[in-house]
Amino acid sequence: GEDVEQSLFLSVREGDSSVINCTYTDSSSTYLYWYKQEPGAGLQLLTYIFSNMDMKQDQRLTVLLNKKDKHLSLRIADTQTGDSAIYFCAVSGGFKTIFGAGTRLFVKA
Amino acid sequence: GAVVSQHPSWVICKSGTSVKIECRSLDFQATTMFWYRQFPKQSLMLMATSNEGSKATYEQGVEKDKFLINHASLTLSTLTVTSAHPEDSSFYICSARDSVGSGGDTQYFGPGTRLTVL
């Protein structure tokens, strides 16, 4: 079946850039999403990209999509302690949206 | 953006009682809503897909008689945990699909409900 994989942890220093990577198997995915989950809260939609795009930038967030390699990344510029959270990659190719296991981002002051 | 609410945000109940959790899409209509369960430090586990006006579709291993789902309107779905036991304690999150918006079939999530069964 379809699968979405992410590394489990990422640790960065405050002010550095964070890059969270995601790979997926379903080549028919049309929309790809990044969600953020803070402790004890639901998932907050950060951004999404359509499969015919290579890049999308939104303030400190940059999403890169390599459709050939089925690789999606989220870059957070000037990472702050408030960015510490779990980041979920999700892909949607029709009725079902498949979520990755989430990457826990630690930001060291 | 689209807002999804859940109520209650947390609930403590005795073993054997039933608990109802509500999920509402506040500013859009959602023909499809999803119920997830999340254990501490783990990812989301999809429990069921709730379609307005029809029966929910449960994922393998999820007891439909244990977790009753009702999607009576385009803005409300409910999950009832029947005869709750301590092993049902978890964080339950709903999401609603906005099929009309520009972001494809984007799912918007509620804030979650933490259930503790004593």
Distance CA A40, CA B103 (A): 26
Q: Do B112 and A42 touch (CB under 8 A)?
A: yes
Across chain A, how many H-helices and E-strands are there? 0, 11
pLDDT in tens, A6-34: 999 999 999 999 999 999 998 888 899 99
pLDDT tier at A2 (50, 70, 90 boundaries)? confident
In tens, the pLDDT along B25-64 reads: 998 888 899 999 998 877 889 999 998 888 899 999 999 9
- CB–CB contact A43 B95 (8 Å): yes
Residue B85 has pLDDT above 70, yes or no: yes
State whether A99 and B44 contact (CB < 8 Å): yes
d(CA B118, CA B113): 16
Backbone angles phi and psi of A70, in degrees to 5: 55, 55
Shortest CA distance from A47: residue in chain B? B103
pLDDT tier at B104 (50, 70, 90 boundaries)?
low
Compute the distance between CA of residue A15 and CA of residue A38 in angstroms, rounded to an integer.
Answer: 20
Residue B90, chain A, CB below 8 Å: the answer is no
Would an 8 Å CB–CB cutoff place B109 in contact with chain A?
A: yes
Interface mutation vs chain B, best among A26, A97, A104, A106, most B CBs within 10 Å: A97
The count of other CB atoms within 10 Å of the CB of residue B102 is 8
DSSP code string of chain B: ---EEEE-SEEEE-TT--EEEEEEESSS--SEEEEEEE-TT--EEEEEEEETTS--EEPTT--TTTEEEEEEETTEEEEEE-S--GGG-EEEEEEEEESSSTTSSEEEE---EEEEE-
Q: Return the residue matching tokens 């190719």.
A: A93
pLDDT tens digit sequence for A41-70 = 999 999 999 999 999 999 999 999 999 999
**Option in B104, B106, B110 nearest A42 (CB):** B110
Q: What angle do CA B95, B97, B99 make, to 5 degrees?
A: 170
